[in-house]
Structure 1
Amino acid sequence: MTDGSRSYRPVATTESSLRILEHLKRSPGRTLDELTDELDLARSTIHRHLRTLEDNDLLVREDGRFSLALRFLDFGISARNRVPFFEVGRRQVDRLAAQTGEKVWLVAKEGDFSVHLYKASGDSPLRTSARVGQRRYLHQLAAGKAILAHLDEAELRTILDRQGLVEMTDRTITDEDALRDELKAVRDRGYAFNISESIEGLNAVGAPIRDEDGAPIGGISISGPANRVKGDYLRNELPDKLLAAIDEIHITLRYGSTG
């Protein structure tokens, strides 16, 4: 659920299937015995769900071990393709990665979260745990803070109340007053920074992608090791390149072409 409410009676069997799928996403290749030990569900219930999911090509079984099937890839690509800025955003991410040599991410806002849609790495050998499809708390990311900064007060208040300010590193902002001060600064300059707030030793700059009404619907971030992505390079050079790319996305979304 994305609205945090229970204004209806949920379908328990569907929720059980989703629990199993989420568990297998985190821990693929589990046996029925292992799932019975790890989930608070009856063995017979788990077995029925596994068989149903397998029969519908949503799970694969190898040597008695269950994992998510590649059919989910089709669902994911279909979901990503509905994002109105994906194609133009992907092109700008590729361009920024080539220009800067850094890792560049395209994200979408969905509900209370940021979802990683696409990345390009340039010449950077940097590897992190971030992956396409991953959902993250908005306040932990540069692009996420850029999105939060341009939400109306009612939606911002709702997200803060539902999700709180979860700490990822000792630099993550976990105080609401401090976050609000930073969001004001982000609105004033047009972009946000992530100074080791999501991953130790990683700095980033991010800016929002906004719809015609000005509402934030996504964003782009440029990130790299803190020992390189710092000073004027982080504070001025990368933001200038990032904002130019964001402007091209907005022009394309509104008028259909940047040329």
Structure 2
Amino acid sequence: MKSHRGRVINATDNACQVLMALQELDGAGVTELSEELDYSQSAVHAQLNTLVENGFVVKEGTTYRLSLRFLDIAQHVMSRFGNFDIIRSEINSLAEKTGEVAQFTTDENGKIVYLHRAQGDNAVKTGSFMGKREYLHSTAMGKVILSMKSVEEVDSIIDQHGLPEQTENTATTRKELFERLERVQKQGYAIDDEESVKGLRCVAAPVMASEHEHLGAVSVTGPASRMTDERFESEYIETVKNSANIIEVNYRFS
């Protein structure tokens, strides 16, 4: 059940739920949405008509889908990260160099958000995709980002999302998480040691927008059988940090 931190306009909240349901269902009709959201068909129909009129939804027969207007909105949001072509190019290059899955993520509302992902020749399925949100405490990218926040900010995120166990290796107590974040601060990078998905390991490094403000994180993910401690030390850590630095320099001076 959702909890609201302030005054909420129900009609707007309902419209947001309709949009998210259309995304989840990859399009739907009035009846399906009514059942999915437990709204009356008349309420769903009114919301859809409003969204169609404003260009956020298109109607194809009896099916409603999200419109391409969201691409324009997405491009506008991505412009906050400077020339995103540089990020895209560097992540693609990182995937090619390592043969694994390379990713660029940022954080929003206490979770990481994947903004770009590329697969190398040996990449395995990781479940990540553009726009996906995941917990900060159980991912290498998330721990890098948390390590740059104040204790108060981290506590606020814990209050909001908790520390749910993803695998037996996940930090599920405040003490354990802060110990890991302290290690990340000292090292300048973070490792996900099968903390998010069993069988997958990941290394991530921060990308700084300025001396005191982070832009996001760069990471490489692969199977634990290949992502060994030895390869972390001899290859992955420096390669990931170098890619993060290239993005950082281009962002600051573009």
> Structure 2 length as normaliser, TM-score?
0.90
Structure 1: how far apart are the matches of 2:163 and 2:152?
Answer: 17
Structure 2: how far apart are the matches of 1:147 and 1:130?
Answer: 18
Distance 1:79 1:239, change over 3 A: same
Instruction: Specify the alignment match of 2:129 in structure 1.
Output: 131
Distance 1:236 1:187, change over 3 A: farther
Residue 63 of structure 1 and its aligned partner are, at CA, apart by: 4.1
Deviations 1:77-107 (A, max 9, x none): 2211222373433232122112111110011
| C-alpha contact (below 8 Å) 1:210/1:250 kept by paired residues | yes
Runs of 5+ in structure 2 lacking a partner? none
Instruction: Specify the alignment match of 1:237 in structure 2.
Output: 235
Instruction: Specify the alignment match of 1:151 in structure 2.
Output: 149
| C-alpha contact (below 8 Å) 2:81/2:251 kept by paired residues | no
Runs of 5+ in structure 1 lacking a partner? none
Structure 1: how far apart are the matches of 2:42 and 2:143?
Answer: 45
Structure 2: how far apart are the matches of 1:237 and 1:79?
Answer: 33
Residue of 192, 199, 213 corresponding to 2:190:
192
Instruction: Specify the alignment match of 1:25 in structure 2.
Output: 23
Distance 1:182 1:236, change over 3 A: farther
Distance 1:86 1:198, change over 3 A: farther
Q: Tell which deviates more after alignment, 141-150 or 151-160.
A: 151-160
Residue 127 of structure 1 and its aligned partner are, at CA, apart by: 2.2
Deviations 1:182-207 (A, max 9, x none): 11111111111112222221111011
| C-alpha contact (below 8 Å) 2:99/2:123 kept by paired residues | no
Q: Sequence identity, in percent?
A: 32
The AA in structure 2 aligned to 1:133 is G
- Report the number of matched residues: 252
Q: Tell which deviates more after alignment, 42-51 or 24-33.
A: 24-33
| C-alpha contact (below 8 Å) 2:81/2:215 kept by paired residues | no
Structure 2: how far apart are the matches of 1:128 and 1:122?
Answer: 12
Residue 117 of structure 1 and its aligned partner are, at CA, apart by: 0.8
Structure 1: how far apart are the matches of 2:249 and 2:126?
Answer: 32
Structure 2: how far apart are the matches of 1:133 and 1:34?
Answer: 24
Structure 2: how far apart are the matches of 1:216 and 1:245?
Answer: 15
Residue of 247, 250, 253 corresponding to 1:249:
247
The AA in structure 2 aligned to 1:60 is V
Residue 156 of structure 1 and its aligned partner are, at CA, apart by: 1.4
Instruction: Specify the alignment match of 1:64 in structure 2.
Output: 62
Structure 2: how far apart are the matches of 1:243 and 1:177?
Answer: 27
4+ long deviations beyond 6 Å: none
**DSSP 3-state at the match of 2:186:** helix
Q: Tell which deviates more after alignment, 146-155 or 61-70.
A: 61-70
The AA in structure 2 aligned to 1:123 is D
Residue 129 of structure 1 and its aligned partner are, at CA, apart by: 2.3
